[in-house]
């Protein structure tokens, strides 16, 4: 496991694609690009390749640092009866053309949001530089080996089938994530390539998601870069009583407070607005003026 003090003091860097990420220097923004017809947040581009490319390029112009492309909705099937699993070939048909179209047109690294090893391999071959597995390697037993073979950074997002946390959600989320990190490191991926995500909203009640956000600093203290994806999540909807397309202010609160607790990457739908929230939060938390952003 990475020593957190050494990581921060030594300004450890990670090359994702052609971009250098310096953990602790500022907060990085990951823009969500759902190339699905059934995204929970209502922003899926479906099979409209041009629309997907234009949205990604707009995210780049708005200040995103990573584009996360997903071809299967992660919304829970227990809550959305029309949410169905997508076969690997169909998921690949959705995401690969978008990755290929963007790989030569943008400087930002592309992340593939998938639970399938075969899709991850095809995506990296097409130009993706990072894998984001929201199943914590549970959906496909081949994913650990695939990520280790590919040698690209991986985001491990927390989930668990039981959705029960007898020792408390914070303690058990951290334990599960460290176990998953150890598995992929044992397979050969360097620890520096592992990024942890507490999985806000994944098999967690609104109260558990909020408790996990309150305890983010405990996950940050374990030494790995931390990503949080609370954007438009149902916990915000339950607190504010608002649908997914009206949760921007709630998302802004989660972003600002996550940055105060030390997270490294925020995964968001509203890129322009959350880039501004992140920059202001960084000015307060990390100091100001900030160094210039490479490539901008």
Instruction: Work out the pLDDT band at 290, boundaries 50, 70, 90.
Output: confident
Q: How far is CA 7 from CA 1, 51, 224, 266, in A?
A: 11, 39, 9, 19
d(CA 2, CA 5): 9
Q: Is residue 295 part of a domain?
A: no
The 10s digit of each residue's pLDDT in 139-153 is 999 999 999 999 999
Q: Is residue 281 part of a domain?
A: yes
Strands 265-268 and 130-133: unpaired
Q: How far is CA 56 from CA 166, 224, 278, in A?
A: 41, 27, 19
Catalytic residue check, 203: no
CATH of the domain at 226: 3.20.20.20
Tell me the residue range of the domain where 254 lies: 4-9+21-285
Helices and strands in the chain, H and E counts? 11, 10
Task: Indicate which residue of 267, 272, 276, 286 is catalytic.
Answer: 267
d(CA 219, CA 171): 9
- Average pLDDT (81-97) is 85
Q: Is residue 142 part of a domain?
A: yes
Instruction: Assess contact for 182 and 226: CB atoms under 8 A.
Output: no
The 10s digit of each residue's pLDDT in 169-179 is 999 999 999 99
Q: Is residue 162 part of a domain?
A: yes
Q: Is residue 294 part of a domain?
A: no
Instruction: Work out the pLDDT band at 159, boundaries 50, 70, 90.
Output: very high
- Average pLDDT (258-285) is 98
Task: Indicate which residue of 75, 121, 233, 261 is catalytic.
Answer: 233
In percent, the amount of the chain with pLDDT more than 90 equals: 82
Catalytic residue check, 267: yes
Number of domains in the chain: 1
Instruction: Work out the pLDDT band at 2, boundaries 50, 70, 90.
Output: very low
Q: Is residue 270 part of a domain?
A: yes
Provide the pLDDT for residue 37: 80
Beta bridge partners of 66: 30
Provide the pLDDT for residue 296: 60
The 10s digit of each residue's pLDDT in 11-42 is 589 999 999 999 999 999 999 999 988 554 44
Q: Which comes out higher in pLDDT, residue 105 or 38? A: 105
DSSP letters, 47-58, are T-HHHHHHHHHH
DSSP letters, 111-173, are EEE-S-HHHHHHHHHHT--EEEETTTT-S-TTHHHHHHHHT--EEEE---TT---TT-HHHHH
Provide the pLDDT for residue 270: 97
Provide the pLDDT for residue 132: 98
Provide the pLDDT for residue 46: 67
Q: Is the peptide bond before 201 cis (omega within 30 degrees of 0)?
A: no
């Amino acid at each position: 496991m990475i020593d957190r003090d050494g990581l921060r003091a030594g300004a450890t860097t990670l090359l994702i694609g052609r971009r250098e990420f310096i953990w602790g220097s500022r907060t990085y923004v990951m823009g969500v690009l759902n190339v699905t017809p059934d995204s929970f947040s209502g922003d899926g581009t479906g099979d409209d390749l041009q629309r997907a490319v234009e949205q990604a390029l707009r995210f780049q112009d708005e200040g995103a640092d990573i584009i996360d492309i997903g071809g299967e909705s992660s919304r829970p099937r227990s809550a959305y009866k029309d949410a169905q699993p997508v076969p690997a070939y169909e998921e690949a048909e959705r995401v690969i053309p978008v990755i290929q179209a963007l790989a030569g047109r943008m400087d930002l690294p592309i992340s593939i949001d998938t639970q399938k090893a075969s899709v991850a391999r095809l995506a990296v071959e097409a130009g993706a530089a990072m894998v984001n597995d929201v199943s914590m390697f549970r959906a496909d037993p081949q994913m650990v080996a695939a990520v280790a073979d590919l040698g690209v950074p991986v985001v491990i997002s927390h989930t668990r089938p039981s959705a029960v946390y007898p020792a408390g959600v914070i303690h058990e989320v951290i334990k599960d994530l460290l176990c998953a990190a150890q598995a992929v490191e044992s397979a050969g991926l360097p620890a520096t390539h592992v990024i942890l995500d507490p999985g806000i909203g994944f098999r967690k009640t609104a109260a558990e998601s909020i408790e996990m956000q309150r305890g983010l600093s405990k996950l940050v203290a374990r030494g790995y870069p931390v990503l949080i994806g609370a954007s438009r999540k149902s916990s915000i909807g339950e607190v504010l009583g608002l649908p997914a397309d009206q949760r921007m202010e709630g998302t802004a609160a989660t972003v600002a407070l996550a940055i105060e607790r030390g997270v490294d990457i925020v995964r968001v739908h509203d890129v322009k607005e959350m880039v501004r929230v992140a920059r202001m939060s960084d000015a307060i938390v990390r100091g100001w003026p900030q160094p210039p952003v490479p490539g901008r």
